[in-house]
Structure 1
Amino acid sequence: MVRPFDLGNLIKVIFGLDSEHTKAAPATNEALPKAAEQPTKHPSHLADYLNYYRSLSEPHYAVLVTGDWGTGKTFQVRESIPNDQAFYVSLFGLNSTEDVVAAVYAAMFPGKAFVKRIASSIGETTAEISGIGSLALNGITSGLVGALLRQQVSKEKPIIFDDLERCGLDVKQALGVINLYVEHHGCRVIVIAHDNKLTDEFSEAKEKIFGQTIRVDPRVEDAFDKFHSSLLAGPEKNFIAVQRGNIIGVFSESGIQSLRILRHVVEDLARLGKTLSEQHLANDPAMVELVRLFCALNIELRAGHLKAADLYKRKEKEFSYELGRNSENERANEQPRIVSANNKYTSVDITSTLLQDHALNEMLVEGRFDKETIQASLNASSYFIKSQSAPWQIVGSFDKLDDEIVASGLAKMEQQFDKREVSDSGEILHIFSLRMMMANKGISSKDIETVTQECIEYIDDLLSSGRLPPRGPDWDWYDDFGDSAYGVSYWVTDDYRDKFQSVFDHLLRARGKALEAEFPKRIPELLKILETDGQLFLEKICYTHKGNPEYGSIPILAAVDPKTFVAAWMRSPKQNWYWVSRALQERYKGSRVEDVLKPEAAWINAVVKLLDEEAAKATGLAKLRIHRTIPKIRQRQAESA
């Protein structure tokens, strides 16, 4: 049955525009709600103008609020006009005029689920509409719905369109739908946009719609206070509060406008603060330099002015550049990014080594705030150097310590060197690099070649006396002292880098020899494992899911007599044989036999030959068992020969 229905009633049913729900626009003489006030602050020029604009009845022009990316445009508008006093509509991701109209309607009438109201109020699929005739309601087009949405507008509060530059519509379409509410409906409309990101077409068209453009500058102090207040209570929050002036000062010096970057910096500082000890926090000058250095580098990286590689050898890059400026080929001496960045700041030296290169990379690039690494870096600085500190630490901080302290530290360091008192690789390399630096700069009476040879002899003396620690089991066993040690990078410049590298390589080889010297003591234990537990033998010499094996990258088997090895294998329980065979196959697969295990190449050939001889002496299934053990080993050896 078809029941009569007029269009006016249809609109009311669909959009819920009953008299009790319909909101009329405020009269022109009606007091408008005021934006939330900050008792201790004067209203900004933005708030002043927006309050004036809201007092107008039908201005027939819109207001454009613009500013650089991240300057807090939306925050300042919302602070001037709270959410409940405006219809906020984000244009981000809206791809059609219908999407925008629907979003405005939803903001004005958030409780109107009009699709459900259609279904529940119009039971039949057709309706008799006065003056039109029969209409199939399930065929209502999106155009009709869009037209109805366009007509239902509340002028009670201003409309605020945000993210214009991220709207999916082209400029003309977006401005066209905005103008619908400005010209046709007489709404007060405020648009937030980063107009530098919009096209020239926008610049040409905006004058027709916008009667006022207000550029927003970042309110750094207010933003900082908001970011700080959002942090969880704790010592790190107080740490940031104490350093408020330094943080804001460095941010201002950077020239960066983005408050988003400031927020990241504040949050990162909270993570940094958690790693600091009471001793560190109590040293005010150290904390000032720490915060300024961390903030400046954090800002420069986040703004894209620096790359991860720029964090390394900062002081050396600056020094090399300054030397090059005085050379004849000054034009070829391109200014490094770290120098360009450093020139922005007057309150901080971003080449400072208070935070070492690797510590900065961990925090600012990898997002890791390792307490041990950070504290080691700070403790090695002049702020925390004490008379009982390691001599190399005192000498390395010569530019910030009194001459008497440095001279005493240097004398002790030379004594340690002459008496071969230090055996730790990191400390040795620090001493070596400082001695090379002094020779290179003419501070020492010895030339760089002499100092290099003395360093090599130092290593050889430790090795011959049995005091040099053996190398570690992992393939990357020297990572802990590769480029730095104890949170401090070695004092090495390009002038003598090759000399230092030769000494470093000699140290690695010597520590390998120190391990080889221990083989005779370790082999009996390994053979015992071979005889009793084949799976454990595999885990000792091969990389598995259980982690780094004790001998995975160490050619210890080259020191085992092949006959002794095969005899122990043959004596072991037969269920062990598979695991021993598997262990050898895994150990020599790929190129490892030509790389770290190259000393074992002849050894495994000898083992295979002995197994062949054992198979030749055996008969029946015993012969087959040995043959089944050999083939893959032989095949891999043939490939690596």
Structure 2
Amino acid sequence: MGINRTEVRDFLKDWANTNSKPHFAVLIEGRWGCGKTHFVTRLLEDETFTDRKPIYLSVFGIADIQSLETSLFYASASTATKTLHKSVGLAGSIFSGALTLGTGGILGGTANLNKVVDAATSQLEQSAKNMDGALLVLDDLERCQIPMSELLGVVNRFVEHGDTRVILCANTDNLDDKHFSAFKEKVVGQSFLLASDPDSALASFITEIGQTEARELLLKHQGDILYLYGKSGFHNLRALRQFIWQLASILEKMKREYRQNDKLVQNLITQFFIFFIEFKLDLADETSSLKPQDLLGKYDEDRDEVRHVCEFSFDKDKEPTPKRRVFEKYEQHNGIRTVITVQNWISILTSGVVDADRLNAELAQSDEVAGVAAWPSWRRLWHLYDWDFSDGSETEFWSDVEDMQSNLKDGRYVEVGEFLHVVGVSIMLADHKLIDQTVPTTIAQLKTYIDEMFVTQLTDERCRGVTESFGRHLDSYDGLGFIGREDAEFKDVMKYLVGKMDAWHHTWMSEDAGKELLKFLAEDWVRFFGNLTIINHAPEQRYLDVPILATIDVKTFVDAWFSLSRHDERLVVGSIKNRYEYRTELLDAEGSWWRDIQVELSHRIAISKSKPRNVQINNLINHINSSIIEKWELRQFSEFSSGNSTDLSWMTRKRVGNK
């Protein structure tokens, strides 16, 4: 456990100002981000702490003693007092041959303190004279490239042969230099382990904010920020400081009327903290690897108005995803309904730029500003039992009923989750006789809507969203559970919907999916092959187990193939052949398709007048034969021999061209 910082400060003040020379350095230890740098720099900036000239130098990245000497010389050369000096960077030494270390001993691993000290030159001694009577802080020891024995030998020169007080700052967990422990005993007389001190650090970070109104808001919501910081469990003050600076830029861009909306500001702070710490900085272990784009649902990328971040899990025994663990950590069990669109949050997180016009326009549509007036009619009707009809709002209620039915008539409900909310609300209204239709009539109308309106506007993304994101146990969307989801009437409509979507998707896969995929061959190489086989950085991998190639017209495929450069043309078969390494069953449907490709290639040779080009095409035929056809034929022979031939083709292939 870290020691109280006030006690550390008191010790350092006595140590720095004592007239007798302590002849030892002080080590401030602590994990990365615990606030070591902030702690010592605040001491150096405090006029009452010491009369010594403060010098701060980060040794992060300094490669050798010569570079260190140069940085120390610059940092100590000023005669001004009470100025916080910082390293001028890793400039090359202005002193030719400034240090000459003894051979063998130091770099050979047998160096002792005397040899290191003797290696100091007159220029280093000049730096020592400049720093005599100073308070020197050397930060980031664990990220210095100089061997620790040499670095601490230089420190010893200052504390033993001058009147410099030296504070060393390091995350000693990352210091594995074998000389460190031995030299620490000789040079460091006292060490302190600092724990994270978020209360005082946050107060300090907020005082650094120059925008008055933003600073006042941060002070007002200081408790909320500390609560979130505690929930995070990371204890990283550097991350907290970054968050405060970024948050201030958002608050500054908000209209004054919105800054005065406490609930809006509180929710904005909560959302930005979670998104910034967990998705932007991703401070969790490497297995999480969350990024801003993960805030969107898997099939929400093309939707600009998404205002809900969620991750539902219907399998109680399944290990929660990293995204789900984040929501549970901050007790956001139903996800987060955002004050601005998720796309805007992603833009702010990735670019660091806040578009004031867009920000305020979206805040105006938030629940916290517009209230229930900004909700779609079905959402207000979902809250039927919360309505206070004594306030004369019954007119609005009937208006919402009419609006929802009008939207149904016009086919405006195209998202699966939203439509199922409309299903639940419609059945509820019919059951309570709040609409003219009976429950059976309502169910029939909803099924007609599915046939005539919903299915006709389907996309592959929405269908896959049901099977891959929701699963087959849909029970909520947009933070709300479906009304009557356990009732037979609701399940009847949902089963009908899923069945129709399956049928549509089956047809789409057999007729249109291959055509859409083929467009990527010339436009987006990674996307095309990433859909077929495992490659790095593929944006999607839809057809790793689906015999999609068998649905593509042979002649059309060859035309697209030949539109590539000759270099890329040669790579096609080699890029696809790995598809069959671990999924040989795909050859049952695609093997004969590749045979047809060979036939089409032979036809191209027959009608070509270019002998060199025919050589190239014939090479493609041979490549297909050795990489794919031989595997297919071997599989056919094995299945025939075993008497267990299996046709895994699940789609009707429509073929055009030579066979």
TM-score (norm 2): 0.52
| Residue among 142, 151, 157 paired with 1:180 | 157
| Amino acid in structure 2 at the alignment position of 1:300 | E
Deviations 1:65-96 (A, max 9, x none): 12221233222212212497233333222222
| Residue among 115, 124, 134 paired with 1:150 | 124
Alpha-carbon distance, 1:162 to partner = 1.6
Distance in 2 between the 1:388 and 1:158 partners?
60
Asked whether the equivalents of residues 251 and 299 of structure 1 are also in contact (C-alpha less than 8 Å), the reply is no
1:316-355 equivalences under 5 Å are 317-318=311-312, 320=314, 324=316, 332-345=317-330, 351-355=335-339
Say whether residues 1:109 and 2:77 are aligned partners.
yes
Number of matched residues?
Answer: 445
The aligned residue for residue 287 of structure 1 is: 265
The aligned residue for residue 208 of structure 1 is: 186
The aligned residue for residue 140 of structure 1 is: none
| Residue among 411, 415, 421 paired with 1:434 | 421
The aligned residue for residue 609 of structure 1 is: none
The aligned residue for residue 18 of structure 1 is: none
Deviates more, 1:193-202 or 1:426-435: 426-435
Say whether residues 1:54 and 2:28 are aligned partners.
no
- Relative distance call for 1:383 and 1:338 in structure 2 (3 A) is farther
The aligned residue for residue 86 of structure 1 is: 54
Alpha-carbon distance, 1:170 to partner = 2.2
User: 3-state DSSP class of the match of 1:379?
Assistant: coil
| Residue among 32, 38, 48 paired with 1:69 | 32
Asked whether the equivalents of residues 392 and 410 of structure 1 are also in contact (C-alpha less than 8 Å), the reply is no
- Relative distance call for 1:169 and 1:407 in structure 2 (3 A) is farther
TM-score (norm 1): 0.53
Distance in 2 between the 1:389 and 1:114 partners?
63
Asked whether the equivalents of residues 309 and 342 of structure 2 are also in contact (C-alpha less than 8 Å), the reply is no
Say whether residues 1:160 and 2:137 are aligned partners.
yes
Asked whether the equivalents of residues 25 and 189 of structure 2 are also in contact (C-alpha less than 8 Å), the reply is yes
Deviations 1:427-455 (A, max 9, x none): 88675131346699999799999989745
Say whether residues 1:457 and 2:457 are aligned partners.
no
Asked whether the equivalents of residues 407 and 413 of structure 2 are also in contact (C-alpha less than 8 Å), the reply is no
Alpha-carbon distance, 1:374 to partner = 7.5
User: 3-state DSSP class of the match of 2:311?
Assistant: helix
- Relative distance call for 1:172 and 1:72 in structure 2 (3 A) is same
User: 3-state DSSP class of the match of 1:335?
Assistant: coil
- Relative distance call for 1:55 and 1:276 in structure 2 (3 A) is closer
Distance in 2 between the 1:443 and 1:49 partners?
76
The aligned residue for residue 304 of structure 1 is: 283
Deviates more, 1:252-261 or 1:62-71: 252-261
User: 3-state DSSP class of the match of 1:81?
Assistant: helix
Asked whether the equivalents of residues 365 and 374 of structure 2 are also in contact (C-alpha less than 8 Å), the reply is no
Distance in 2 between the 1:423 and 1:64 partners?
72
Alpha-carbon distance, 1:403 to partner = 7.5
Deviations 1:219-260 (A, max 9, x none): 434443444344453654444343233223322332332222
Asked whether the equivalents of residues 164 and 192 of structure 1 are also in contact (C-alpha less than 8 Å), the reply is yes
Distance in 2 between the 1:507 and 1:408 partners?
40
Distance in 2 between the 1:428 and 1:92 partners?
52
Distance in 2 between the 1:345 and 1:336 partners?
15
Alpha-carbon distance, 1:191 to partner = 0.7
The aligned residue for residue 394 of structure 1 is: 380
Distance in 1 between the 2:92 and 2:561 partners?
68
| Amino acid in structure 2 at the alignment position of 1:285 | K
Alpha-carbon distance, 1:99 to partner = 2.7
- Relative distance call for 1:234 and 1:70 in structure 2 (3 A) is same
Identity of aligned residues (%): 19
Where does structure 1 lack aligned partners over 5 or more consecutive residues?
1-41, 119-142, 325-331, 477-482, 509-587, 593-637
Deviations 1:482-531 (A, max 9, x none): x9xxxx959799999997688889999xxxxxxxxxxxxxxxxxxxxxxx
The aligned residue for residue 632 of structure 1 is: none
Deviations 1:18-43 (A, max 9, x none): xxxxxxxxxxxxxxxxxxxxxxxx99
Alpha-carbon distance, 1:211 to partner = 1.2
User: 3-state DSSP class of the match of 1:158?
Assistant: strand
The aligned residue for residue 349 of structure 2 is: 364
Distance in 2 between the 1:252 and 1:219 partners?
11
| Amino acid in structure 1 at the alignment position of 2:38 | F
Alpha-carbon distance, 1:101 to partner = 3.2
User: 3-state DSSP class of the match of 1:86?
Assistant: strand
User: 3-state DSSP class of the match of 1:320?
Assistant: coil
Alpha-carbon distance, 1:195 to partner = 1.5
- Relative distance call for 1:288 and 1:226 in structure 2 (3 A) is same
Asked whether the equivalents of residues 318 and 336 of structure 1 are also in contact (C-alpha less than 8 Å), the reply is no
Alpha-carbon distance, 1:167 to partner = 0.9
Deviations 1:117-140 (A, max 9, x none): 99xxxxxxxxxxxxxxxxxxxxxx
Asked whether the equivalents of residues 93 and 168 of structure 1 are also in contact (C-alpha less than 8 Å), the reply is yes
Alpha-carbon distance, 1:164 to partner = 0.9
The aligned residue for residue 64 of structure 2 is: 96
Alpha-carbon distance, 1:186 to partner = 5.9
- Relative distance call for 1:418 and 1:428 in structure 2 (3 A) is farther
Distance in 2 between the 1:640 and 1:228 partners?
74
Asked whether the equivalents of residues 310 and 479 of structure 2 are also in contact (C-alpha less than 8 Å), the reply is no
User: 3-state DSSP class of the match of 2:314?
Assistant: helix
| Residue among 211, 224, 237 paired with 2:202 | 224
User: 3-state DSSP class of the match of 2:133?
Assistant: coil
- Relative distance call for 1:374 and 1:177 in structure 2 (3 A) is same
Alpha-carbon distance, 1:194 to partner = 1.6
Say whether residues 1:379 and 2:365 are aligned partners.
yes
Where does structure 2 lack aligned partners over 5 or more consecutive residues?
47-51, 80-90, 97-116, 298-307, 462-468, 470-476, 506-558, 564-655
- Relative distance call for 1:67 and 1:461 in structure 2 (3 A) is same
Distance in 2 between the 1:292 and 1:387 partners?
23
Asked whether the equivalents of residues 220 and 259 of structure 1 are also in contact (C-alpha less than 8 Å), the reply is yes
Distance in 2 between the 1:443 and 1:208 partners?
85
Alpha-carbon distance, 1:590 to partner = 8.0
- Relative distance call for 1:434 and 1:352 in structure 2 (3 A) is same
Distance in 2 between the 1:162 and 1:242 partners?
33
Alpha-carbon distance, 1:320 to partner = 2.9
Asked whether the equivalents of residues 65 and 213 of structure 1 are also in contact (C-alpha less than 8 Å), the reply is yes
Asked whether the equivalents of residues 392 and 427 of structure 1 are also in contact (C-alpha less than 8 Å), the reply is no
- Relative distance call for 1:383 and 1:175 in structure 2 (3 A) is same
Distance in 2 between the 1:98 and 1:502 partners?
74
User: 3-state DSSP class of the match of 1:199?
Assistant: coil
The aligned residue for residue 564 of structure 1 is: none
User: 3-state DSSP class of the match of 2:28?
Assistant: strand
Distance in 2 between the 1:450 and 1:352 partners?
36
Distance in 2 between the 1:392 and 1:243 partners?
34
Distance in 1 between the 2:416 and 2:359 partners?
18
- Relative distance call for 1:441 and 1:195 in structure 2 (3 A) is farther
Alpha-carbon distance, 1:275 to partner = 5.7
| Amino acid in structure 1 at the alignment position of 2:12 | L
Asked whether the equivalents of residues 364 and 370 of structure 2 are also in contact (C-alpha less than 8 Å), the reply is yes
